[in-house]
Homo-oligomer: A and B are copies of this chain.
Amino acid sequence: MNALVERIHGIVGPAGLVTPGEVAPYATDWRKRYVGVPLVVVKPATVPEVAKVVRACAEARVAIVPQGGNTGLCGGATPDASGSQIVLNLSRMNRIRAIDSHNNTMTVEAGCVLARLQEAAEEAGRLFPLSLAAEGSCEIGGNLSTNAGGTAVLRYGNTRELVLGLEVVLPSGEIWDGLRGLRKDNTGYDLKQLFIGAEGTLGVITAAVLKLFPLARSRATAVVALADPGRALDLLQRLLEGCGERLTGFELFSDSCLGLVLKHFKDTTAPFARRFPQYALVELSDTLTGNAVAGLAEAALGAALEANCILDATIAQSEAQASALWKLREHISEAQAHEGPNIKHDVSIPISQIPEFIRVTDIELARAHPGVRMVTFGHVGDGNLHYNVSAPEGVAAPAFVKETPAVNRIVHDSVARFAGSISAEHGLGQLKRDEIRRYKSPLELELMRTIKNALDPLGIMNPGKVL
């Protein structure tokens, strides 16, 4: 046995080492795009164990790949193929250390699965609002390290906004206890901000103090028909002005998206008797019980109809109807996959620029790649578009996938012209590590490297990711 592995074995014991035959799931990313070969996969059970493992790796100059639920979409938690990096999987550290309902906080370990935290909050009569497709298996340490977004950002912010304190094992193996549960603390640099969204390149997040919110007790869900994305922005403003923080969801999808969902999911039905160019899925919620929020939705959408801002609207009359409307939005990704190969983009731009961005980028793509089919949808309330490009009818997967770099170039260059971001909510990982160099200023890249070198001078924390 390698001397370092032997030392780690002494720290974590047999239960903390994955046997060679079981390593595969930890060595591959969720989308199966990256396959690595780890020196060893370590699953420590306590913070001191994490600290000792990191110190051992630092002394041996061996790189560490922190990993949670391994559901990331950019290969940020996959080791390289050298056989020299260790995977440090935090899944065994899954205790909820405390819930303080009068402080509206919850102190949790990195390995807690997100859905379990949502449930624990609800049992305490509170809401933990972070919500995303992988919530049944992703872990909060990964959510923190990628500053995850999801469906509740419009009202509650990204993961970064949900954190009051962190505990981090630094690249030296020291434990930084920043587990404060304070809403105001201006005593120097806000160090936790460095580790949130750093994708494990500056240290290993082992625990966090998270904010809790009041539970929503009434809800209204609607699908609205629109002439174009510009009207969607007008509707968004109307709803923000009229309904304020009650607006918890505002998703846009084009008729092509709806068409794919209706085609591939036989249990779905169109929201209107006729088809329209665009649709917005709107959700209002309130801490109050009763029908007030439904009445408000009706009044606001009625006024929008009268002002010719929208073309039609259907408001769910039951939980089942609300869930059926949400399915039209939630099934888009899978429907697109059934339809054939496609090239995905997770981009954000200033909300005001979304209609113009879609218009000019669609034109550029159609010119350069005749026949491509646009499947555009996303969290428009946050400026986040999943701007996806499907192959022209009849084009085979391999031929179209070869176009990925050329398509990315057009889309990402357009994003840059609109002062947007080429990774809104998924991070950089390995996937966009090279791509970002084209779009970030040399000065900003240098600042990032300065921070990296200052905090991780040996370069052992997740090398090959982000930077």
Contacts and interface: CB of A to CB of B under 8 A. Distances in A.
A190 B184 contact: no
Nearest to A286: B244
A334 interface: no
Contacts of A383: 103, 182-184
Contact of A105 (B161, B236, B350): B350
A252 to B, nearest CB: 14
B453 A191 contact: no
A240 interface: yes
Interface stretch (A310-318, A359-367, A436-444): A436-444
B348 A421 contact: no
Contact of A351 (B104, B125, B444): B104
A215 interface: yes
B422 A181 contact: no
B186 A147 contact: yes
- Which of A125, A181, A420, A440 is most buried by chain B, counting CB atoms within 10 A of its CB? A181
Nearest to A384: B184
A14 to B, nearest CB: 32
A59 interface: no
Contacts of A287: 240-244
Contacts of A291: none
A184 B420 CA distance: 9
A451 B103 CA distance: 31
A149 B186 CA distance: 9
Count of identical protomers in the assembly? 2
Given A105-B350, A197-B189, A351-B103, A158 B176 contact: no
A241 to B, nearest CB: 5
Interface in A326-341: none
A465 to B, nearest CB: 10
Contacts of A351: 102-104, 183
Contacts of A424: 182, 184-186
A188 interface: yes
* Among all A-B residue pairs, the 8 with the closest Cβ atoms: A244-B287, A193-B193, A102-B352, A454-B454, A185-B421, A184-B424, A245-B245, A103-B352
Given A185-B423, A188-B428, A450-B454, 11 more contacts: A182-B348, A183-B351, A184-B383, A185-B348, A185-B424, A187-B421, A187-B428, A188-B444, A189-B197, A189-B466, A245-B245
Interface of A: 100-105, 125, 146-147, 149, 153, 157-158, 160-161, 170, 174, 176-178, 180-191, 193-194, 196-198, 202, 214-216, 233, 236-237, 240-245, 286-288, 292, 296, 348-353, 379, 382-384, 419-428, 432, 436, 439-441, 443-444, 447-448, 450-451, 453-455, 466-467
30 contacts: A103-B351, A104-B240, A149-B184, A149-B186, A170-B447, A178-B444, A182-B420, A182-B424, A183-B382, A183-B384, A184-B382, A184-B384, A185-B348, A186-B197, A186-B425, A186-B427, A187-B440, A189-B447, A189-B448, A189-B451, A190-B197, A191-B448, A193-B194, A214-B241, A241-B287, A242-B287, A244-B287, A292-B292, A447-B455, A451-B454
